[in-house]
Structure 1
Amino acid sequence: MSNKRESMVTIDISNVQTANELHLLLKEKLEFPDFYGENWDAFWDAITGLISMPNKLVFIGWSGFEKKLPSDAKIMKQCFIDYNEEFPTLKCDFFFNYHEN
């Protein structure tokens, strides 16, 4: 796992229509390896052992995303909560209800 931590990463999920699109966007923005499996188990493995999470992660368009893909929104949010509980020294502040200006 890389020691380099970005201070903040912003991900615009307002146009995401499918879980696959979400995983591809997460892969790109969080710099997951090419072999990322594009599912929630692979996501957990990536954030807990393959990459360094940023200090702050901001999601733009969360409320619309949550309406389109409620189960994926719930799973992703729980992954981040679990991450901060399991890795308190690597805590990442997550902003899910960020509103566009």
Structure 2
Amino acid sequence: MVTINVSRVADEGALHLLLKQELGFPDFYGMNWDAFRDAITGLVEVPDRLRFVGWDQLSERVPRGAIMLRQALHDYQAPYRPQLVVEYT
């Protein structure tokens, strides 16, 4: 399981930087939601379990980013990794 603390993220740029660091995205990661989808579907191996700690704080501070992240992971899960478990705490 990979646990990512998103409680202190203040904007989408910081969220993308954190995701890049924690999930091992390459240096050329584009820091946007299209690049995020590209990274999880072909550039890195996503662990079977992800836990996002501080989700309520992220949703308050960066509502669009929280929605986009959750949607991207949901869209990835069905066709690519049905066994993926994502926790938002």
Task: Classify the TM-score, shorter chain.
Answer: over 0.9
Aligned partner of residue 94 in structure 1, secondary structure: strand
CA offsets, 1:2-57, max 9 Å, x none?
Answer: xxxxxx10000101001000000000000000100000000000000000000100
* Runs of 4+ off more than 3 Å: none
1:4: which partner in 2? none
Q: TM-score, normalised by structure 1?
A: 0.84
Q: Report deviation, 1:88.
A: 3.6
1:5: which partner in 2? none
The one-letter amino acid paired with 1:24 is L
Matches within 5 A, 1:5-84: 8-84=1-77
Structure 1: unaligned runs, 5 residues or longer: 1-7
Aligned partner of residue 4 in structure 2, secondary structure: strand
Give the whole-Å Cα distance in 1 for the aligned partners of 2:8 and 2:65. Answer: 15
Aligned partner of residue 81 in structure 1, secondary structure: helix
Q: TM-score, normalised by structure 2?
A: 0.95
2:84: which partner in 1? 92
Higher helix share: 2
